[in-house]
Amino acid sequence: MIGHGFMGAAHSVGWRQAPAVFDLPVDVEMAVVVGRDAAGVAQAAQKWGWAESATDWREVIARDDIDVIDVVTPGDLHAEIAIAALEAGKHVLCEKPLANTVEEASQMLAAADAAAARGRIAMVGFTYRRVPAVTLMRDLIAQGRIGRVQQVRAAYRQDWLVDPDAPLAWRLQREHAGSGALGDIGAHIIDMAQFVTGETIEAVSGTVETIVAERPLLAAGAGLSGVAGDGRGAVTVDDVAIFTGRLAGGALASFEATRFATGRKNSLTLEVSGDRGALAFDLEELNVLHHYDRTAPAELQGFTKVLVTEPTHPYIGAWWPAGHMLGYEHGFVHQVVDLVTAIHDGSQPHPSFAEGLGVQRVLAAVEQSARDNSGWVRTAAYIPA
């Protein structure tokens, strides 16, 4: 695993827990974790169960005893590391968004396609797909339970930047993050909307806003949570992105991604309305899916709360008895299960790099619409591998 911050911790839990809970087709060894700071990465290895640590990702990729590279670095390193790993004959899991630009994502897809011809697999880490309630939502829509999809509403709201004196982190610099709230959390709801409906977003129209233009730099040695220096530095990404989209089937979708929603710590909501019913998910009720059946008798109509903890629900059978809840980390466990199973079976897991490129094109189209004030901008359609 290359990188060991917050997302590295989440991935580590996934790698550690999956073999203990699920009957995987092959054994998994957490071989080595890589980071720039020798002491910090050694501490992470000990804490999260990696056999060893290293500071040079190129040396690790060249090792014959490494089969899979898990990329959890800032976005500006995704393309270089993933392409090098694929060319070295490794399977690759890369965190979302796939890259910082459409051009980088296209290069990564080309490398993944070439690697696939040699039996190597590449997957993007859109982990919310693997929350059982979200996977069930996809399944029910595919079964026609809500009929023809007519409208989608998606929002991802956080508030960790409301304080104007919060330090200038790497996520606030375009050269490292690619974009702000749009790419960081907006990418999730773009992927989720396409995943659950089975339809691509063909056009978007949106606006973005940077609410706090400058933030304080951190004193040298203050840690890795901000950019070191004196004074204040420029925020070069968006704080808020609001846009509409049109799905391939004609339905309209609305999206909001913000890190300025005061009081919202990690609020992700997704609702899909059809001509026969509707489905609604809220990450703050992670084990619940709400279903409305428009065909039911009038006296029985209303949203029904489905507790997604039954053994017949996606992924649940390996866990606890019905009614015993799962949490945020379980999506990362399920991600490992799907990746390892696909590697063993020689099949392409989802989301593929092609799907990651599709999300990247939507992000770019939103930025173009906002920058040029051009209204609707078409996105290049893609077909998942």
Q: Taking 70 as the threshold, does the pLDDT of residue 384 lie above it? A: no
Query: How many beta carbons lie within 10 A of that of residue 175, not counting itself?
Result: 12
- CB contact set of 164 (below 8 Å; sequence gap of 6+): 212, 215
Q: What is the pLDDT of residues 69-114, one digit of tens each?
A: 999 999 999 999 999 999 999 999 999 999 999 999 999 999 999 9
The DSSP-derived string for 213-250 is -EEEPBPTTS-SSS-BSSSEEE--S-SEEEEEEEETTS
Q: Which residues pair with 122 in a beta bridge?
A: 92
Q: Taking 80 as the threshold, does the pLDDT of residue 382 lie above it? A: no
Q: Taking 90 as the threshold, does the pLDDT of residue 328 lie above it? A: yes
Average pLDDT of span 256-267 = 98
Closest residue by Cα to residue 249 from 186, 292, 197: 197
Query: How many beta carbons lie within 10 A of that of residue 152, not counting itself?
Result: 24
Q: Give residue 228's pLDDT band: very low, low, confident or very high (50, 70, 90).
A: confident
Query: How many beta carbons lie within 10 A of that of residue 233, not counting itself?
Result: 18
Q: Taking 90 as the threshold, does the pLDDT of residue 211 lie above it? A: yes
- CB contact set of 63 (below 8 Å; sequence gap of 6+): 32
What SS3 class is residue 333?
helix
Q: Give residue 224's pLDDT band: very low, low, confident or very high (50, 70, 90).
A: very low
Average pLDDT of span 37-65 = 97
Q: What is the pLDDT of residues 145-157, one digit of tens each?
A: 999 999 999 999 9
Extents of the domains making up the chain = 6-127, 131-372
Q: Give residue 383's pLDDT band: very low, low, confident or very high (50, 70, 90).
A: very low
Separation between Cα atoms, residue 94 and residue 114, nearest integer Å? 17
Which CATH number fits the domain 6-127, given the four candidates 3.40.190.290, 3.30.365.10, 3.40.50.720, 3.10.20.30?
3.40.50.720
Is 369 in contact with 245 (CB distance < 8 Å)? no
The whole-chain average pLDDT of the chain stands at: 95
pTM: 0.95
pLDDT value, residue 198 = 97
Q: Which residues pair with 209 in a beta bridge?
A: 240
Average pLDDT of span 203-220 = 93
Q: Taking 50 as the threshold, does the pLDDT of residue 291 lie above it? A: yes
Q: Which residues pair with 274 in a beta bridge?
A: 149
Superfamily of domain 131-372, CATH level 4: Dihydrodipicolinate Reductase; domain 2 (3.30.360.10)
Query: How many beta carbons lie within 10 A of that of residue 81, not counting itself?
Result: 21
The DSSP-derived string for 93-128 is EEESSS-SSHHHHHHHHHHHHHHHTTT--EEEE-GG
